[in-house]
A = this chain, B = another copy of it.
Amino acid sequence: MVTKGEETRERILDRAMALAAVVGLEGLSIGDLARETGMSKSGLFAHFESKEDLQLRIIETARERFIRDVFAPTLRASRGEGRVRALFERWLSWERGRVGGCPFVEASYELDDRPGPVRDALAAAQGEWVNALAKAVEIAIDEGHFRGDLDPRQFAYDMYGIFLAYHLYHRLLDDEEAADRARAAFDRLVSTSR
C-alpha cells in the first residue's frame, strides 16, 4: 500500500522539480519549498537526508516523468523514422509543458562544472537519453528509412543541438518562431539522413 508519507514525498518532489527548473537545483531552498507546499520546513526536510539527497531525488523524479511522458509512448509508435519524429515532437512538448522548461537542460548548464554525485547522476541520465536517441536512429537505419552510412550518434548530437537552441530561443529570446525554426532544422536533419 501507498503510505501517506510516500504520497507527500511525491507531492514535494513534483513541486521541487518545477521550482528547480526556475531557480536551479542549488538555488532551490528548503524554506521556499516548504512554503510552496504548505508544510513546515522541518516537516518537509524529514523526508530527505540532506539537500543533496533532495537534489538526487529531483533528478530521479524528472527521469521517471521523462520516460513516462516522452520516451515510453514512442515505443508504441511505428519503428524507424516515425519513432524518431515522435521522439522529437514529444521532446518539444515536454519542454513547452512545464514552467521553467526542461529540468535536465537547466540542471545540465548549472552543474556542468560542479563535480559531485548530483552532476554524476545528471550526466548518467543525459547519457542514457543520448543513447536512446542513437538507438532509435539505428533502428531507422535497419528499417531502411535512413541511409546505411549515417552515424546514429552524430544524428543524436545534431538533434540535441536543435532542441537546445529551441530551449534558448523559446525561453530567453521569447522568439515566437522558435518551434518553427526547430522543426525546420529537424526536417533538414531528417531529409539529409535518408
Asked if A173 and B110 sit within 8 Å, CB to CB, the answer is no
Asked if A108 and B168 sit within 8 Å, CB to CB, the answer is yes
Interface string of A164-194 (1 = CB under 8 A from B): 1111110111100000010011001000100
Asked if A112 and B122 sit within 8 Å, CB to CB, the answer is no
SS class, residues of chain A in contact with chain B: helix
Measured between beta carbons, the chain B residues less than 8 angstroms from A127 are 173
Asked if A154 and B109 sit within 8 Å, CB to CB, the answer is no
Asked if A23 and B157 sit within 8 Å, CB to CB, the answer is no
Question: Given known contacts A112-B167, A158-B162, A160-B168, what 20 new A-B pairs fall within 8 Å (CB)?
Answer: A22-B114, A23-B114, A24-B110, A26-B27, A27-B27, A100-B113, A108-B168, A108-B172, A109-B168, A112-B168, A123-B173, A123-B174, A126-B173, A157-B181, A158-B185, A161-B162, A161-B163, A161-B165, A164-B164, A192-B192
A interface residue numbers (CB < 8 A to B)? 21-24, 26-27, 99-101, 105-106, 108-114, 119, 122-123, 126-127, 130, 151, 153-154, 157-158, 160-169, 171-174, 181, 184-185, 188, 192
